[in-house]
Amino acid sequence: MKPDPSNQICVGAISGSYGVRGEVRLKSFCAEPTAIADYGLLYTEDGAQSYKITLTRPVAGGLGARISGVNTKEEADALKGISLFVSRDNLPSLPDDEFYHTDLIGLEVRDTGGVLLGKVTSVHNHGAGDLLEIGGAGHASRLLPFTMATVPTVDMATRRIVVDPPEGLD
């Protein structure tokens, strides 16, 4: 059965081939990178294609993996750039103070005084922790660290985030 594209979460991407026997280099977006193999079939964003992956080894920039039916370097190269999705229903539940990045995008952001700063347009992580990119129509884009000190409140019920920007970032 084809998955519902509106209920999909991106858990990784194929970043190219690895070696000459059809392995791919896989970039995992999971908190524990090897967990990407625990979800069973992974799908393209539109759900038209599915992939069964088997992890083989850690490689520079990600994980080595075999994909069922891919046996040559050329076949692996053809998959470069494909994002891999899983149904939200297959993801584990999170504690109250943790969130999937995709759930934060689009939330309204206000400062502690109630002033609208924009909406979350993206979530980045360059190795030193998550950053919320806040902007939108009529609002300058800015990055804020996603920490308890800077983001004291995330209210999923009202789809609102309250932030207390550090000095110099407001």
**Cα-Cα-Cα-Cα dihedral of 16, 17, 22, 27, to 10°?**
-60
Environment class of residue 164 by beta-carbon count within 10 Å: exposed (0-12), middle (13-18) or buried (19+)? middle
* Predicted pLDDT of residue 151: 93
pLDDT tier, 102 (very low <50, low <70, confident <90, very high otherwise): confident
Environment class of residue 154 by beta-carbon count within 10 Å: exposed (0-12), middle (13-18) or buried (19+)? buried
pLDDT above 90 covers a percentage of the chain that reads 64
3-state secondary structure of 147: coil
For the cut 70, the answer to whether the pLDDT of residue 169 exceeds it is no
Q: Which CATH class is domain 101-163?
A: mainly beta
Tokens 């309250």: give the residue. Answer: 162
Question: CATH code for 5-89?
Answer: 2.40.30.60
Would you list the domain boundaries of the chain? 5-89, 101-163
Q: What is the pTM of this model?
A: 0.73
pLDDT tier, 5 (very low <50, low <70, confident <90, very high otherwise): low
For the cut 70, the answer to whether the pLDDT of residue 1 exceeds it is no
pLDDT tier, 70 (very low <50, low <70, confident <90, very high otherwise): very high
121-168: pLDDT as tens digits: 999 887 778 899 999 777 788 999 999 999 999 999 999 999 998 876
- Average the pLDDT over each of 18-32, 36-50, 86-100, 139-153 and give the range with the smallest value: 86-100
